[in-house]
Structures are given as structure tokens and as C-alpha cells.
A and B are shown apart, each in its own frame.
Chain A
Amino acid sequence: MIPLSVKLKRLKPADQKASEFNAIVRDEIAGALEEYQAERVELHFGPSATRRYGRYWRNPRRSLRYLIQQARTAGRRAELTELYELRRRGLTRVEDPSPLENTGTTRGLAGTGKVRATATANKQRGVLPLPTGHPINPAHVGELSTTTQEETAAIRSRVIAGVKRRLKER
């Protein structure tokens, strides 16, 4: 049985309680992101990660062939004309560029970023840096840092569980 005096001591002023609560939220967000970083992030940079994990939606890279097809508005003749024109310039074959994360550099750096988290009354945010080691095409910024719906939900539930546990232990 807990004595009454101890019960009374547990009760603290509101501001102190608020800061403690925010600390709990902050810790748990940081913990969830660290867990995510340790267990999942690196996997996403491996070969065929797109097929395995289904994340990082790539923006469509517009190939030259595609541009040509777009330009074929005047019929077969114009198409052929352009094609010949291109060939004359030496541009015979066009390939899709390979994804950035498969270069190896990015994969080596994945998971080395330091997690930061803040929680106040009006803002609760956790940040997980993803160093790339090379510049990123401005058109492709945000590809790496976009999480899928399932992963957001996982992080969220991890945070909720942690906060619940901490409140119960309080």
C-alpha cells in the first residue's frame, strides 16, 4: 500500500509537469527515429530496394525518346524527320538514368546521421538526416526523405506506446 504522503509528493506544479511531459514526448520521438535508422534505413539503399520495400517514389525522368514522342504531333513524317535529325547529331540510343541511391556512396553513409528531436507545447518534431555525399539534382530533392504510409504509422505507434509506458511508470 502506498502511503498518502507519497501520493501527495507525486503531484507537482503545472509548468514542471508540462516540461516533463514534453521531455517524454521528445525522448520517445527520438527513440523511435533512432530505432528506424538502425533497423530500416540502410535496407532502403540496397539493390532493388524499390521492389523490396516499395518506398522512394521516383519522379519520372524524362528521357530523350520521351521528348521525341511528345514532339510527334505532326504525324509520321515529322517524327521521322526529327528522328533523322537526332541521328545526324549522333544521338542514337537513350537509357534511363539509374537511381541515386544505388551508387554506393549514399548507401555507405546511410545511418550515420544524428537524430534530433524537439517537443514543446506547439511543436513536436523529429529529424533524421540522410547524408548523400554528393549533390542532388534539384528536380529530385525529397525522393530519399519521403516515407511511406506504413512506415509513418509504425513510427507513430512506437511513439504512442513509449509515451503510454512512460506515463504509466511515472
Chain B
Amino acid sequence: MADEQIVFDANTEAVKRAYASVLEADKALLAQVQRTIAASQAGSKQWLEAKTKETQILRTIAKDQDSLTKKAGEFNTETQRTEGIGRKAFGAMQVAIGALGLKALLDQMTEYRRELGRAELAHAKLFKPLEVAAAGRSPALRKAVSQAAITAGVTVEEAAGTAALLMREGVDRKEASGATLVEALKAEQTFGKGVSQDIVGLLDAQGIAITPGNIRSVAASMSGLIGAGAELGTEGLGAARESGRVLQGAGLDLREQFAGIAALQDAGRKGSELEGIVQAIISMEASEKEGRELALKAIGLKPEDVDLAGEDLFEALRRVDEGITKHHPDIREPLLKNILGKQGISAGGTILLDAIRSGKVSELVAAQQGDAGLGAREAAALGSEQATENRLKVQADLAKAGKGGDSALVRQSLETYLLQKGMSGPEITAALKAFDVGVIGAGPDKALSSAFLATPGLQRKGLIGMGAFRGAVLGQLRSARESPVSGVELGDLAVPAGPAPSLGEGPSYSELVKSEKAELVKSEKAGSAEKGRLDQIRSALSFVRSSKAAALASGGERSEREINAEFDPAIKELQEQEKAAAHKAREAKGGGGDVEMKDLLRSLLKVNEQQLERMTEQNDHNLVRNATSL
């Protein structure tokens, strides 16, 4: 019996290619995984930055490959269709290939640039908040911000918020806590809250560098405008920020922009309408163009005279005004309507024209020159009661949170030490006074030095050097912390009768280590106690919430508003307590900096894993795409 059989043979070369692509994809994946693990272990930020960009570029290339493959597929189809047509058609096809390739190349380049820009933006969005948050934990920065707050007489919170804003806008960290911050805070103190944000946004939008001088010049402009009776305000700054690019294109510098906006605002219009006038002149509808040319001819001008190329907006309007005043008042209005168009008229073109004619705009520009009364305004604002109050509060906070721990405890320890040394009353008072003065700017550690210098009795006796003195006072503080008795009053302390302690007296290294360990154990215990409290608060909160939900569900005679009024205050209070307790628990657990660093690293790792996930998806996609030629 002779049977037949159907034989299906695959294209071996294509299968080999597909398998090679599988191997390649796996290899790439392995490399990526290994790199990611290494980077995760190192927690290196720089690596992550580079990786983000690399991934973006890889994605771009994959996208380009996609589009090229698609185009190649189209081309193949086309070739099959035209195969029978002949040599002539083939020549035409070759031309088409050239064009197609060129276009693909151009598309690729454009897309690549766009993608690179997008990647940078995404990168900035991802890392800026982290950087700002990390910077906020630096003691040096905190100190610098506090100093700026003292100078400007604002609270630390306001100063920190402004510093974070400046850093987000890309200002150098040193500058954002130094001179630039001081200027921004001064502007805020002088012209009201939120102004610094507007000024920074304005400078950023107009492409002007955010420097102390530039911030000050904007503030001077605001001061000058107030002096001239036309307040710019937050709204005006916002208008300049939004339409800044267009106005720059119309040949107006910052002061002229302010003058135009202020003139419009003074007449009861919105400052943002200045942009509308410029738009009306630049981009006129085709249907209106003819009428405009005729009207310009009637007043002896050409379209080139008022197209804002070579002359600024005010100059163009001045020319129009001069031309129009030659005509009879009755036809001035229709002429103007033709020249500025409907849009220009409705945007307040006539009002601006009036302001230019009356010289108000020039006055406003002139009023912004120089200091423009900013110094006097600032002096008044910085010397206000509120500013002084803020200043004192910041100074007190700074004294508390100085280097070397709680300054009050150090002060107590100093007092005890001096009593033990048998110093006289006036001498102890003088030393404590010196300590109090020194602690404000420099912290308790350095304040101890000034206290030492202020007690000549101690130096005269030649008992102890400055370093040893500091060590002794702080060591005493540590031993006092270790001792089980706490809250000892000064009066309870017995003055030792024996000989004075020897030179350089203080705890040995092993004692120090022991004390540190004890402190650590204590803080851990405190942490667990705080956590217990946190749990209590949370359970109470959930109980109140569930009661509220039950009350809402059962309904009854009470309305929703009544139920809300009953439960919401309790919930709010509990939420606040929870927040405070959580903060305390966090502080008690890891002791500040370490925990924050851990959080930061953890967030970085999370980002890493997400990236890996995305890369893997991309990899699978490529792999399957390569296998389609089977």
C-alpha cells in the first residue's frame, strides 16, 4: 500500500534567528538584573540617574525600531504588489526607499530629542523633591535658613518653605539658603505673603536668572509702582509670568511690562489683557487684514511700521495714536477698530492707547528706576512688631536646637560644675550670662567656651584648660542622664567638701561607650512605649469612625450634618494626636538622621524595582517581535 503524506518544513534560518533573539533578550535581561541588584545594594543615586536616562534612551530606540519595522513591512507589501509592473516601477521604488529612509531618519532624530527632553523633565520631577527633602535635614542648611529668617523677621516655617521653593526652581542650595533667600523673604515681608513665590515664578518664566539682584529689582519695581499710585500686586505678577514670553517678543523689558500691566489694572482691566493686545496686532485674521491696511494707509503708515518687528508695543501704539489724532474725531474710532481689530479693542487697546497718550506709561516706567523707595519700605516692614516677635522666636528655637544637645541641660550642668568648683556667686552669674549670649548663634558647645572665658576665677586657679572644661561639663551631663535620679534641683546638690577634681577630669572612653549603649536601650524602650500609645490612639480612632459610620447608616431622626458635627471634632483631634505620636515613635525608634536616610534609600530602591519591571516588559515585547519572522 502506498500512502502519501503532507510534509511541512519550517524555514530553518528564520528559526535560528528567532532563537538567537531569545538568547540575546535573556542575556540583556540578565545584565539588567545584575546591574540593578548591584545598584540596589549600593543605593547609589548617581547610578540611578544614569539608569533613568539609559532606560529612556533604550525605550526611544525600541520605539524607533518599531516604527522602522512597520515601515519596512509597508515597503515589503509595496514591493510584492509592484513586482510584476517591471523595471520602471522598480526604479521609482528605489527613489521611494531613499525618501522613506530620509524621513525615517529625521523622524528618529526629532523623536529622540523630544524623548531626551521628556526624560530630563521626568528625572527632575522624580529627584527634585527627594533632594529638597534631603537638604532639609542638613543641620548647616537649617541653621542658614534660620539666620535668613532672623534677618528678614519671618518664622522658620516660612523661610524653609521659600528655601524649598527656590531649590525646586533650580537655585543652588547655598544660594537658596543665603543671599537669594534673604532677598525673597524681605520681599515677602514688605509686600505680603506669597509674593516671593510669584517673583521666583516670574523670573523663571521669563528666563531671567534667580539671583538676589534680580529679585531685588523686581521688588524695587513693585515699590516704585506703589509709589506712583498703581499697585502691581499678585495678580499683576501672575499676568507678567503667564504672558512674559509674548511680551518679551513684543520688545518690552520687565519694567515696561509691569508699567503696561499696572496701567491696565489701574483702569479696572485685567493685567493679562496686555497679551491679548499684542496677539491682536501680531496675528490678525485674514478677513480683517485688508481693512487694516487701508486704515494704516489713511493715517500714513505701512503695515511694517506696526508689526512689532523693530519697534516695541508702546512705540507702535504711539505711531498709531499720532496718525489718528490728525483725523476728525468722528472717524478715529472706526480707524482704530480696523487697526487693532475686534480682539484688540475688547482686550483694552483703547485704554492702553489713552495711557500712552497721557504719558502715564512713561511715568510708570520712570517710577521703577533705581531703588524706587524700596529701602524705606523694607526698613519699615523689617522693623515691625510682628517681625521682631518672629525674630526672637527663631533665636530661641535656634538656641534650643544647637549642637551638643539641649542647651538648658548643658546650662544646668555648667551651673552644677561651677558650684562644685567653689566659684563665687557673681562669677557663676557672669559665666551663665556669657553662656546664654553665646548659645544663641553658635550652640551650647561653643557657648561653653565663652562661659569659660567669662570666669577668670577658673582660669586664674589654673585648674583646667578650655577643652578639658568642656569635656568635664558635658561628661557630667552624661553621667547625670545615666543616674536613676532625675529632676534634681540645684538646692538639693551637696557641694563636695574634698579636694577639687584633677585636671582633665571626665569620663573615660569605655565609660562613654557604656553610657551611649545605655542611652540607646533607653531610647528603644521609649520607642516601644510610644508605639503602644500610637496603637491605642489608632484603635480609638477606628472605633470613633466605625461609630460614625453606624450612626450614618442607621440614620434615624438626626440629619447627616448633626452626626458630622458630633463626631468630626473628636476624629480631628485623634488624627492630630496620631500624627504627633507617630512622629514621636519614629524619632524614638531610630534617632533622626539614620531613619530618614533609610527612608530615602528605601524609596530609591522602590523606584529601582519599578524600573526593572518596566525594562522586563520592554524586553519581552522585543523578544516576541523578533520571533515573528519564524
Contacts and interface: CB of A to CB of B under 8 A. Distances in A.
Contacts of A11: 26, 29-30, 33
A164 B627 contact: yes
A18 B19 CA distance: 8
Contacts of A17: 22-23, 26
**Chain B contact residues (Cβ within 8 angstroms of A): what range?**
35 or more
Interface string B1-15: 111111111101001
Contacts of A92: none
Contacts of A123: 12
Contacts of A128: 5-8
Contacts, number: 110
B570 interface: no
Contacts of A135: 1-2
Interface string B590-630: 00000000000000000001101100100010011001101
Q: Is the interface of A mostly helix, strand, loop or mixed?
A: mixed
A129 B8 CA distance: 11
B8 A7 contact: no
B8 A126 contact: yes
A127 B6 contact: yes
Interface string A134-170: 1110000110110100001001100110011001100
B4 A125 contact: no
B10 A4 contact: no
Interface size class of A (residues with CB under 8 A): 35 or more
B1 A113 contact: no
A145 B5 contact: yes
B5 A4 contact: no
Contacts of B624: 164, 167-168
A132 B6 CA distance: 13
A141 B29 contact: no
B36 interface: yes
Contact of B18 (A1, A134, A163): A163
B33 A33 contact: no
A145 B8 contact: no
Interface of B: 1-10, 12, 15-16, 18-19, 22-23, 26, 29-30, 33, 36-37, 40, 609-610, 612-613, 616, 620, 623-624, 627-628, 630
Ranked nearest first, the 9 interchain pairs of A and B with the lowest CB-CB distance are A124-B10, A128-B6, A126-B8, A145-B4, A130-B4, A144-B4, A129-B5, A160-B630, A136-B2
21 contacts: A4-B609, A7-B29, A7-B616, A29-B10, A32-B8, A119-B15, A124-B12, A125-B9, A126-B8, A127-B8, A130-B5, A132-B3, A135-B2, A141-B4, A145-B4, A145-B5, A160-B628, A163-B18, A164-B624, A167-B627, A168-B624
